[in-house]
Amino acid sequence: MNIYDVIVVGSGNAALCAALSAKDAGAKKILIIEKASKKEAGGNSRYTNGSYRFAYDNFSDLKKIIPSLKNTKRIDYGKYPKKSFYDDMIKVTKNKTDKNLTKKLVNNSHDVIYWLSKKGLKFVPIKGKQSFVVNGVTKYWGGLTLEVKGQGEGLVKSLTNIVIKNGVEIKYEFAAKKIIKKDNKIVGLKVSHKGKSKDIFCKSVVLACGGFEASSKMRTKYLGKGWDKAKVRGTKHNTGDGLNMAFEHGAASYGEWSGCHAVFHDMNGPKFSDLKIAAKYRKISYPWGIVINANGERFVDEGEDLRNYTYAKFGREVIKQPKQFAWQIFDQKVRPMLYSEYDVKTATKVKANTIEELVKKLKGVNSKKALSTIKKYNSSVSSEIKFNPTIKDGKKTIGLKINKTNWANKIDTGPYYAYGVTCGITFTFGGLKVNNQCEVLNRRNKPIKGLFAAGEMVGGIFYVNYPGGSGLTSGAVFGRIAGQHAAKLRNI
Ligand SMILES: Cc1cc2nc3c(=O)[nH]c(=O)nc-3n(C[C@H](O)[C@H](O)[C@H](O)COP(=O)(O)OP(=O)(O)OC[C@H]3O[C@@H](n4cnc5c(N)ncnc54)[C@H](O)[C@@H]3O)c2cc1C
């Protein structure tokens, strides 16, 4: 009988890292099974910008990853010490993150990117989105500084090639259906291939097959009412299969099952995203404007924090609004500052020369109330502080029910623009409980022998919110750990 050392379920970032790491740790027969066809494989990882958040102390830490990187006076790459990454995790999760998992994520973050670069993955500095030009110097905020060359597509393509070169076998259109257990140990998987059921045997299984964001049934069950309406920003294949399979064997659920990463997303985007414009359905330049709902009212503090620390939670706010849509409003002063995702031809947008005209064009909105909201907002803007998009400038409104606490410019210079948005779900936060080796724990906190998890499937890391770029890093860090320990079971 053909017995694999390790079977990895999924072919996204976490799975590919797990397979590569299992190989490093001595496993010889490694199989990746992927539910999607080769054309659709790579999961949410393929839809990403390929940007990884990781800790670095100085330019040399970046140069280790990109040896050709030049240290010029015109670019300040800043720094992002481990403490800053850790503090960001504590801040955005409102101190709910599992501290042990977060320490692992943070402490291994630089090393895992270095490891990937040594394996052949090419990184480049992120252009435009994570930096600002100040007095002729491009300054990075730190934290989210590098992305993979070719972004998500480049990441999956390169990492898949690297994995194949390392002797890992990949079977596409093989969906894991059930975990096979014998004598209290995981021994294989029941899979479905083109409608036929098959058993595949192994010494250990790494589940890296995503959350439940693409299952409208599970979204409604765990996230709540209205979530069936959310648009899915990534793959249609992450339907919670791995989570449910693990639960059948007594795995403990962990983390925020009612939580997810969700952003403002084009209100007319497709039900599931497409790879052609992927991340460009997203609309996250709201810190430079205001957002109003169908009642013509604002419902979030658009300037609460730097965009990286608010974008992942505002999609959830729009689900709570009447008819689950909103319009983002900007004037000509800030229009050039919007991300390129606002320029896509298919974007739902309206433009007008006056605010009065604009509000009438906002489909489904109480235009009278919208006009009064904008006027009230304009008259409450504090003019003492100068607008500065490179920092939290404290330019705020005073006296509103929901104040805007930074970057509060008046909306007073035509033409005016509005972009229609709804909720786009990225990934879910609830997952499985794992130990330091990424073994899946049962409800009595004991490892399920031979079962490991990585990526979106690990619960307990993200709650409430998420610092941009940590999903890929988490997949790489925990995928690497899972693969390493799964490989050890080959000799047992
Ligand atoms: C538009 C978008 C942009 C993003 N940008 C970034 C970014 O720049 N940086 C960042 O850090 N994060 C980003 N994210 C989040 C990031 O995508 C995820 O955190 C990360 O990719 C998850 O990786 P994963 O390997 O756990 O899952 P995935 O990459 O989703 O892989 C899961 C795989 O499992 C497969 N699968 C599912 N069920 C089965 C089954 N039963 N049998 C076999 N295979 C199965 C799926 O087909 C899929 O290929 C973004 C997400 C989206 C949607």
Ligand 1 pocket mutation pick from 49, 148, 209, 271 by most atoms within 8 angstroms of CB: 209
Same domain for 275 and 326, yes or no, is yes
CB 55 within 8 A of CB 85: yes
CB 22 within 8 A of CB 484: yes
Residue 277 has pLDDT above 90, yes or no: no
Same domain for 483 and 418, yes or no, is no
Residue 137 binned pLDDT confidence (cut-offs 50, 70, 90): confident
pLDDT for 130: 75
Q: Is residue 279 part of a domain?
A: yes
The lowest-confidence range among 201-210, 234-243, 274-283 is 274-283
Q: Is residue 95 part of a domain?
A: yes
Q: pLDDT by residue (tens digit) across 439-448? A: 999 999 999 9
pLDDT for 188: 98
- 340 CB burial (10 A radius; 0-12, 13-18, 19+): exposed
Residue 229 has pLDDT above 80, yes or no: yes
Same domain for 159 and 90, yes or no, is yes
What's the chain's average pLDDT? Answer: 96
pLDDT for 414: 97
Q: Is residue 50 part of a domain?
A: yes
Q: Which two tokens stand for residue 3?
A: 């017995």
Residue 410 has pLDDT above 90, yes or no: yes
pLDDT for 12: 98
pLDDT for 143: 85
Same domain for 455 and 394, yes or no, is no
Residue 390 binned pLDDT confidence (cut-offs 50, 70, 90): confident
* Residue 42 alpha carbon, nearest atom of ligand 1: 49
Same domain for 410 and 272, yes or no, is yes
pLDDT for 433: 98
CATH assignment of the domain containing 280: 3.90.700.10
Q: How far is the CA of 448 from the centre of ligand 1 (A)?
A: 24
pLDDT for 139: 86
Same domain for 169 and 283, yes or no, is no
The lowest-confidence range among 20-24, 310-314, 352-356 is 310-314
**Neighbour count for residue 457 (Cβ, 10 Å):** 33
Q: How far is the CA of 124 from the centre of ligand 1 (A)?
A: 21
C-alpha distances out from residue 66 to 117, 149, 293, Å: 8, 11, 44
CB 486 within 8 A of CB 204: yes
Average pLDDT over residues 17-24: 98
The last residue of a domain, from among 372, 391, 424: 424
Q: Is residue 263 lining ligand 1, measured as CB closer than 6 Å?
A: no
> What total number of domains does the chain contain?
2
Q: pLDDT by residue (tens digit) across 38-47? A: 999 999 999 9
Q: Is residue 471 lining ligand 1, measured as CB closer than 6 Å?
A: yes
Q: pLDDT by residue (tens digit) across 70-79? A: 999 999 999 9
Closest by CA position to 408, among listed 371, 374, 367: 374
Q: Are strands 30-34 and 3-9 parallel, antiparallel or unpaired?
A: parallel
Same domain for 384 and 485, yes or no, is no
Nearest-CA residue for ligand 1 atom 50 is 48
Q: Is residue 269 lining ligand 1, measured as CB closer than 6 Å?
A: no
Q: Is residue 160 lining ligand 1, measured as CB closer than 6 Å?
A: no
| Percent with pLDDT over 70 in the chain | 100
Same domain for 207 and 270, yes or no, is no
pLDDT for 132: 81
CATH assignment of the domain containing 163: 3.50.50.60
Average pLDDT over residues 347-361: 98
Same domain for 415 and 439, yes or no, is no
Average pLDDT over residues 321-338: 97
Amino acid letter, 462: F
Q: Is residue 426 lining ligand 1, measured as CB closer than 6 Å?
A: yes
Q: Is residue 113 part of a domain?
A: no
Whether residue 415 has a cis bond before it, omega within 30° of 0: yes
pLDDT for 58: 95
The lowest-confidence range among 29-43, 118-132, 207-221 is 118-132
Q: Domain range spanning residue 408? A: 262-424
CB under 8 Å to 24, separation ≥6 — which residues? 483, 484, 487
More confident residue, 238 or 281: 238
Q: How far is the CA of 200 from the centre of ligand 1 (A)?
A: 24
Q: Is residue 397 lining ligand 1, measured as CB closer than 6 Å?
A: no
pLDDT for 309: 87
Same domain for 484 and 409, yes or no, is no
The model carries a pTM of 0.94
Same domain for 293 and 400, yes or no, is yes
Amino acid letter, 282: R
**Neighbour count for residue 225 (Cβ, 10 Å):** 9
